Amino acid sequence: MTTPLVGRTGLPAELRALGAQASAGVLVVGERWSGLTSILRAVADRYARAVPWEAGTPGAVLRQLLTAVAWGDDPVAAAGQLIDGLGGTPTVLAIDDAQYADPFSLQVLSSAVRGFRDARLVVVLGTSAPDGTSPAASGATSELLLREAEHVFRLEPLTTAEVVELAESHGVALPTRQADRLRALTGGRPGAVAALLDELPASLWTQVDAELPASHAVTTRVRSQLDALPKGSRRLVEAVAVLGGPEPLSLVSTLVGAEDIWGDVDAAERLALVRVSGAEGARVIGPADPMVAAAVRSELGRRRAVGIHRSAAALASDPAARLRHLVAAADGPDPVLAADLAALAEECAAHGEWAKVASLLTAAGRLTEDRLLREARLTSAVDALVGAGDGPGARALIPEVEALRETPLRNAVLGYLAILRGRGAEAEVWLARAWELVNADREPEVAAAIAQRYVLHSLARCHWQEIVRWADRALELADLSEPAGIEAAAIRGLGLAAGGEAEAARATYIGLTEQVRRGAQVQRVRLGTGWLQLALDEVETARAELESAVPTGVLGGSARISLWASAWLGRTQFLLGEWDRALETCAAAEPLLRRSEIELAGPIMAWTGVQIHVLRGEWTAAQTALRDAENAPQDYEVMRIPTLLARAAFAEARADHAGVVRALQPLTGPRLRDAVFEPGFWPWADTYATALIALNRYDDAETVLSPHEDRAIAMNHRSAIARLARTRGRLQAAVGDVDAAWKSFDRGLAALVDSPLRFDRARVEFAYGQALRRAGKRRQAAAYLSAAREVFAALRAETYLARCDRELNAGAARSARGTEDLTPQEQAITELVATGLSNREVAAQLFLSTKTVQYHLTRIYAKLGISTRAELAALYGAASQ
């Protein structure tokens, strides 16, 4: 059976390319159903399949490749016959199931590859045995497979996204959660995925809780194998399939009452029905394959499976395992079991084990008779799924939650999901209705949870005063021993800081750190602390706090908090000049971002990626990151603003000043103006004003700069002072007030003394040197430009490095340029025009108007005695030799 080459599309071309220069031997390893046969057929000019019963027949594989050749018994001579038979054209020979190939054929193929390098013969051996062996393969075959391959490729399982893509090729629109389940069942093997997509009815894929069966072929094979097993081995296989495992072998032995456990295990292992692992004395046993286990369970029947679960529950020493088995054995509502599940969920929540919490609460809700309690448990399960980063799972429960009777908690949960998916307007409706319905006196915990959701909603809106107002409400209803109270307090400090109360915010986080020392809530406090420190320019301490807030596996924690921490850690690393680490941080968070469907933090990460990639001249990667930002919902300010900043960064690197203005213009409007006024949260005013200066809109630049300069000085925000001073110096130089410009640049550099923000400092030095060079102060300019260049080179900031080099070249002695009569400004224009740039492009690069460039170009022509751009290019080229 062949399947579309989803997830493997580039491999056939890569295999063919190996023979472009010389012959090559290749080993491709893939499990059964991994798509190996499809790849081999796609790549092969001649294809053969080895089979076990021909493994001892010399030349069996060769006769499939060249039917008209009479093979002798000398492998070297036969290799020559093979090459002659191929007619001298580059050829790919593929042998499927090569672990069964006869040794003589493999010897001939090996000799042909090694002895006729110019023949450009590629021999691709496909095997399903990871180590080149199989029960039916001879020792000689195994040795040849492993020894002779020059290149080895291993087929990895499909990702969830690739399972979705494969499903689409079969006409099935597969939800992400179902794709996850299908991938887990099949091990991501495309052949197995395709078989189930073809066999199962389309309606099954919309049933989130339906158990996926094994494929027909696996079920038929397993049924036959079970019938052939001794009774003890069959009981073992059935128990292992029901338990799922791996479970301690001693437990399974007791469960099935084994008289000869190792005899039972050996019989089951020979048929690849179970797998034993672990150290001696601590052996565990589990299904050899999830699909095999599904086939066994289908043969077993519900009654026998329930009996196994009940017996396992009686033997289990772990409370969670005991409850899991009891849930699987339950046949209706069970209030006592539901209460036990809810109690264990509460314990797990204290440690941030949100996946367990979700599973326990979902089971508890479905076993609960009392309607109100059932609804409360199911809605709380959705919250836990979000915390676990299981966005598809939470979304899958939305219809079930929406169908429940309207309660404040239900509306709050739906509002929370809308927040995380970036749907601000929808969240506002749900939260407003929840707050309208709740009675804070009777349900203080629910009211606190709603208020806390409003805090998060206000943060996403960048409504700083609303953050404080709703946090205060939450803290009136829940103290710092409760999650809602802690998270409200952890976000409240950000609202205080953005409202100008930085010291009050700092004191808030110091107090929280002292009070919250353990448990999952520590993650929230560290995120808030790190975010505040980043906003206040304390970037090195911010890095440490944010790094500790990213992981969720050790101390427990929320996927949402981890994503926020990753986003701001990436920004912190960017500001510190740790650009490779910043990209690594964002890349590491990407799988969780996609899997969780928590959209909020995505544009911030994309903004960081865009900035780094454009500064390094990596335009394709920058465009991809920019698309990621733009494709995210834009309803919330915390998503809209970084998307606009990413667009501006892209345009600025292209010297597209009009594009910068278009990107950042919305930040001056009533919706976003207050959100971006605080200097530490969203740096933009300097970039916007610089673009206005380049477009000769000096009054507009002044209007932007003045209030932001006053705010930065009032807050003593050093990096904002430096950025704005750099732009102020550009404005003053542009209007001819050079003495004031020098003071502004000096003020910018002074603000960054002892600061780790080396890229910010280099940008001030670059602007300072550029202005000095244009004022004719070439020696002073060279000092600043050289200092900036060192930093740009260290960061691999190719975009600024090129600009820096252009300024340094333009400031060189005229005699060295061969155009002695030109001023430094004219030399810079000459260099750019000579490369083919238009007047408009030159103006953008040099922060000049198009009219100014045309004026200088007219003077250049007169000085050099020429009249066309072509003559200028030719003359400049000769002068540069």
**What is 790-842 written as a DSSP string?**
HHHHHHT-HHHHHHHHHHHHHTS-HHHHT-TT--HHHHHHHHHHHTT--HHHH
> pTM of whole model > 0.75?
no
Determine the Cα–Cα distance for residues 325 and 341; give it in Å rounded to an integer. 12
123 strand-pairing partners: 25, 93
Nearest CA to 219 out of 295, 329, 293 is that of: 295
What is the CA angle 584-588-590, rounded to 5?
A: 115
Determine the Cα–Cα distance for residues 667 and 688; give it in Å rounded to an integer. 10
One domain, residues 117 and 175: no
717 belongs to a structural domain:
yes
Alpha helices in 44-156 (DSSP H): 60-65, 75-85, 103-115, 139-148
Determine the Cα–Cα distance for residues 485 and 790; give it in Å rounded to an integer. 49
For the stretch 474-513, pLDDT in tens is 999 988 878 888 889 999 999 999 988 999 999 999 999 8
One domain, residues 791 and 663: yes
Cβ–Cβ < 8 Å for 236, 274? yes
One domain, residues 378 and 501: no
80 belongs to a structural domain:
yes
Neighbour count for residue 20 (Cβ, 10 Å): 10
One domain, residues 125 and 241: no
Evaluate if residue 4 carries a pLDDT over 70. Answer: no
Among residues 362, 389, 416, which one ends one of the domains?
A: 389
651 belongs to a structural domain:
yes
Total domain count for the chain? Answer: 8
pLDDT in the model for residue 747:
97
Percent of all residues in the chain with a pLDDT value above 90, rounded to a whole number: 42
Among residues 154, 172, 190, which one ends one of the domains?
A: 154
End-to-end CA distance of the chain: 65
Determine the Cα–Cα distance for residues 765 and 755; give it in Å rounded to an integer. 14
* H or E element in which residue 286 lies: strand 284-287
Which residue reads 């849930």 in tokens? 327
624 belongs to a structural domain:
no
Give the 3-state secondary structure of 716-728: CCHHHHHHHHHHH
pLDDT in the model for residue 752:
95
User: Residue 100 corresponds to which tokens in the numbers above?
Assistant: 């069964």
At 815, the pLDDT band (50, 70, 90 cuts) reads: very low
Give backbone dihedrals phi and psi of 47, rounded to 5 degrees, phi first: -120, 140
Say whether 155 sits in a helix, a strand or coil: coil
115 belongs to a structural domain:
yes
Higher pLDDT, 557 or 740: 740
Contacts of 513 by beta carbon, 8 Å cutoff, 6+ apart = 525, 529
The CATH number of the domain where 768 resides is what?
Answer: 1.25.40.10
Which residue reads 């002044």 in tokens? 702
Give backbone dihedrals phi and psi of 226, rounded to 5 degrees, phi first: -65, -40
- DSSP class of 205: G
For the stretch 49-101, pLDDT in tens is 998 888 889 989 999 988 877 888 898 999 898 888 888 788 899 999 888 88
Q: Which domain holds residue 675?
A: 639-803
What is the CA angle 812-815-821, rounded to 5?
A: 95
- By the 10 Å C-beta count (0-12 exposed, 13-18 middle, 19+ buried), 317 is classed as exposed
User: Residue 33 corresponds to which tokens in the numbers above?
Assistant: 């159903």
Give backbone dihedrals phi and psi of 868, rounded to 5 degrees, phi first: -135, 160
Evaluate if residue 881 carries a pLDDT over 90. Answer: no
One domain, residues 557 and 569: yes
Neighbour count for residue 107 (Cβ, 10 Å): 19
For the stretch 708-753, pLDDT in tens is 999 999 999 999 999 999 999 999 999 999 999 999 999 999 999 9
One domain, residues 348 and 326: no
Determine the Cα–Cα distance for residues 688 and 702; give it in Å rounded to an integer. 11
Evaluate if residue 144 carries a pLDDT over 80. Answer: no
User: Residue 776 corresponds to which tokens in the numbers above?
Assistant: 């004719």
Among residues 803, 829, 861, which one ends one of the domains?
A: 803
Determine the Cα–Cα distance for residues 443 and 452; give it in Å rounded to an integer. 14
For the stretch 354-404, pLDDT in tens is 788 888 998 898 899 888 888 888 888 887 887 777 777 787 777 777 787
Determine the Cα–Cα distance for residues 355 and 679; give it in Å rounded to an integer. 38
User: Residue 338 corresponds to which tokens in the numbers above?
Assistant: 């539901």
Determine the Cα–Cα distance for residues 152 and 685; give it in Å rounded to an integer. 53
Nearest CA to 483 out of 527, 521, 523 is that of: 521
pLDDT in the model for residue 817:
43
User: Residue 744 corresponds to which tokens in the numbers above?
Assistant: 């502004």
Cβ–Cβ < 8 Å for 383, 413? yes
Determine the Cα–Cα distance for residues 561 and 557; give it in Å rounded to an integer. 7
User: Residue 419 corresponds to which tokens in the numbers above?
Assistant: 């927040």
Determine the Cα–Cα distance for residues 741 and 769; give it in Å rounded to an integer. 11
At 142, the pLDDT band (50, 70, 90 cuts) reads: low
User: Residue 18 corresponds to which tokens in the numbers above?
Assistant: 């190996």
626 belongs to a structural domain:
no
Q: Which of 232-246, 437-451, 541-555 has the lowest mean pLDDT?
A: 541-555
One domain, residues 338 and 325: no
One domain, residues 819 and 787: no
Average pLDDT (806-816) is 64
Average pLDDT (323-345) is 90
Cβ–Cβ < 8 Å for 608, 574? yes
One domain, residues 652 and 725: yes
Contacts of 872 by beta carbon, 8 Å cutoff, 6+ apart = 830, 833, 834, 860, 861, 864, 866
598 belongs to a structural domain:
no
One domain, residues 145 and 33: yes
User: Residue 352 corresponds to which tokens in the numbers above?
Assistant: 């941030």
606 belongs to a structural domain:
no
Neighbour count for residue 227 (Cβ, 10 Å): 9
pLDDT in the model for residue 427:
95
One domain, residues 254 and 295: yes
pLDDT in the model for residue 283:
87
The CATH number of the domain where 842 resides is what?
Answer: 1.10.10.10
One domain, residues 667 and 769: yes
Give backbone dihedrals phi and psi of 545, rounded to 5 degrees, phi first: -65, -45
Chain-wide mean pLDDT for the chain?
Answer: 87
Determine the Cα–Cα distance for residues 506 and 508; give it in Å rounded to an integer. 5
